[in-house]
Amino acid sequence: MADTVIHTERPLRADARRNRERILESARAVFAEYGANAQIDDVARQAGVGVGTVYRHFETKEALLVELLREKFRLFAARAREALEQHGEPFAVLEDLLRRNAQTAASDAAVQHALAGAGENIWMQAEAEQQELVAVTGLLIARARRAGTIRQDVEANDIAMLMCGLCSTMGGKPGFDWRRHLDLVIDMLRAR
Same domain for 98 and 118, yes or no, is yes
* Cα separation, 184 vs 186, whole angstroms: 5
Q: What is the pLDDT of residue 80?
A: 97
Nearest 5°: the CA angle 103, 105, 25 is: 110
Cα separation, 153 vs 130, in Å, equals 21
Whether residue 92 is found in the same domain as residue 180? yes
- Answer whether residue 4 is part of any domain: no
80-116 pLDDT tens trace: 999 999 999 999 999 999 999 999 998 888 777 777 6
| Closest C-alpha to 114, from 162, 65, 54 | 65
Same domain, 94 and 45: no
* 52-84 pLDDT, tens digit each: 999 999 999 888 888 988 999 999 999 999 999
Q: What is the pLDDT of residues 23-38, one digit of tens each?
A: 999 998 898 888 778 8
Same domain assignment for residues 93 and 38? no
Number of domains in the chain: 2
Can you give the residue range of the structural domain that contains 35? 11-59
Q: Is residue 16 part of a domain?
A: yes
